[in-house]
Each structure stands twice: as structure tokens, then as C-alpha cells.
Amino acid sequence: MPGTSGTASGLAVSTTGLVKEFAGGQRAVDGIDLEVPRGAVYGFLGPNGSGKTTTIRMLLGLVTPTEGRVELLGEPMPRAGASVLPRVGALVEGPAFHPYLSGRDNLRRADAADRTTSGRTARARVDAALERVGLQHAAGKRYRAYSLGMRQRLGLAMALLRPRELLVLDEPTNGLDPQGTREVRLLIRDLAAEGSTVLVSSHLLSEIEQVCSHVGVMSAGHLVAQGGIEQVRGAARTRVDVEVSDVEGAADLLRRQGLDGVRTDHGTVVAELGDADPERVLAALVTAGVGVRQFVLHRPTLEDLFVQLTGEGFDVER
């Protein structure tokens, strides 16, 4: 079971005013304040070029911030990296493995580089990691013969060679088929249930919705939303579509009920529900004698919120 030291603040990841500026003055990350609660599964979302991977690399000490502060597990980074990073597992942009070694031998080399573990239990750790990501059958195969999905699984196995308080996973389902994606989703849930905090960057919003307790949305280097998933999703606007006999009369009544964005479209009135109670709105229409043929609520998905916040669709082919 992962420990609890260094997390008195309740945050496994914390940044303050984090900035990364590249040559020419381009700010890939512009003053973000991440807050990842301990025990959370935090979905880190954003389109290509939004600054997600640059942020993750700064968290892990792979890139030096231009400005700002980073804390992992309550300790300042990169100053405390030697003591903190053994408690952190990471999968970032596809780890480098030796192509002529087998998957098992690659993990053995990675495990041997960890001076905080015992060599006597190395075999058990490697076998357990391979089993957890479903690679036992291919453990003896050379890495160069692995498919993209198998390589991604091996990267996950490397992150899981020992219990971790924090796991940082950048696109962990990249290259996986639907079954593999489902297995990773279940694995993330299991890791969180065991006490690990998981920060996962992904372009699969449906997967994020199913597994994450918290989300952060990046757009053009800025963190435009952050919090519990229900809290953040609640910021999106629920829409109501009403198919009626009297379009103009219904539209006028919805406006008087306090609904915003009311518009008509071929026998249907569309409006943003806001704080209005849908049952009360429907009752008002019926009481006014408006013939209601259909009353449909469209509750916002995480993808709807993403489009509202970033002004663009999500590139699912990334």
C-alpha cells in the first residue's frame, strides 16, 4: 500500500504560477495552478499543443520551468526529486526500451536501475507487472517485434514495477484496441482503489468520464477548468428541446420562465435550461395550453464542456 508521507496538504500534485516559455517568447504553459487531490483519478484534457505534455514533463523534472513552483507528494521539485521520484510511476511519450531485448529483460534492466528495491525480489516484481498489463504471453518476445499496443503495455508495466503513491500516465491507451483500452480503464480504477493517485492525460473523453473523479482542461497553455468531474461538468449548459404545436407561443413562455438562448427550429424550440427546473418548465407549457409533442433534455457531456471551453472539437485520432 502506498504511503502517506509528505501529503499533509491533501494534494499529490500542486503547481503555482507554472510557466514554460520557449525560444522566441512562445509560452507553452502560461501560469497554471494544478491541484490534484491525493487519491484522485485526475483527467488532464486538452487538444494537441495545449501544453499538457509540457506540463507533465515539468512535473517530473524532465523540463525546467521558466517560472513557478511544482510540488509532488508535498515535496518541491526538482530539488526533492531523488526522494520523491521513486514513489512516482510515469508513462510519458512512450518510454525507450532496448529493441533486441525481450519485454521481460527490458523490465529487469529497468528494475535493476532502481536502487531502492531489493534484487532478491526482482523476478517477482517483473512477473507481477507483466501479469498486471496482460503481457505474460509475450514476455519472451523481443521488443522490436512488439506492436504499438504491446509497447504501451510494457511502458505501463515499467511504471508498475513497485507500488507507487502517484502515477502520471500520458495517453496510456495510445495504440490499444477497445479491449486493451477497457483493461487500462479497469487497471486505473484498481490502482486508485489501492491508494494511488493517478494523473492521466487522454484524448478519449468517454474513457475519462468513466474513470476520473477530477478533471483539468488545458487550452493554449492555460488551465481553463479544474475540479471534481461533476462540479466541472455542471458548468456546462443543459439544453432543452421542445417539439410543440405553437412554436412562437412556447418560445415566449420559455423566455418568461427565465431560459436563455431561446430559438426556434422547424417546429421545435431550443433553449438553455440554466437553473430552471425542467418539471416546472414542462408544467408551465401544459398549463398554458401549448401542445407538447416531445420534451427532451440534453445534459452536457465532458466533450460538450470541452468544446465550450476551448472552442474546438476533440481530435480523437491523435
Domain ranges (residues) in the chain = 11-228, 239-299
CATH architecture of the domain formed by 11-228: 3-Layer(aba) Sandwich (3.40)
- Total residue count of the chain as it appears in this document: 318
First to last CA, the chain: 34
Q: If pLDDT is split at 50, 70 and 90, which confidence band does 75 have?
A: very high
Ranges assigned E (strand) in 23-144:
27-32, 35-37, 41-45, 67-72, 75-77, 88-91
Comparing 41-50, 241-250, 307-316, the range with the smallest average pLDDT is 307-316
User: What are 14-18's contacts with CB under 8 Å, separation 24+?
Assistant: 14/70, 14/71, 15/55, 15/58, 15/59, 15/68, 15/69, 15/70, 15/71, 16/68, 16/69, 17/67, 17/68, 17/69, 18/55, 18/58, 18/65, 18/67, 18/68, 18/69, 18/70
Residue 211 in contact with residue 229, Cβ under 8 Å?
no
> Considering only the top CATH level, what class is 239-299?
alpha beta
Q: Is 198 helix (H, G, I), strand (E, B) or coil?
A: strand
Q: If pLDDT is split at 50, 70 and 90, which confidence band does 311 have?
A: low
Residue 318's pLDDT is 34
Compare 314 and 23 and report the one with higher pLDDT: 23
Burial class (CB in 10 A: 0-12, 13-18, 19+), 178: exposed
Q: What angle do CA 179, 210, 230 make, to 5 degrees?
A: 170
- What is the spatial distance between Cα 36 and Cα 229, in angstroms, rounded to a whole number? 12
- What is the spatial distance between Cα 79 and Cα 303, in angstroms, rounded to a whole number? 37
Residue 156 in contact with residue 133, Cβ under 8 Å?
yes
Whether this model's pTM surpasses 0.85: no
DSSP annotation of 301: P
Compare 84 and 307 and report the one with higher pLDDT: 84
Domains 11-228 and 239-299 share a fold: no
Q: If pLDDT is split at 50, 70 and 90, which confidence band does 302 have?
A: confident
pLDDT digits (tens, 9 = 90+) for 160-188: 998 899 999 998 888 788 888 888 888 89
Q: If pLDDT is split at 50, 70 and 90, which confidence band does 316 have?
A: very low
32: Cβ–Cβ under 8 A, 6 or more apart, which residues?
15, 17, 18, 51, 55, 68, 218, 221, 222, 223
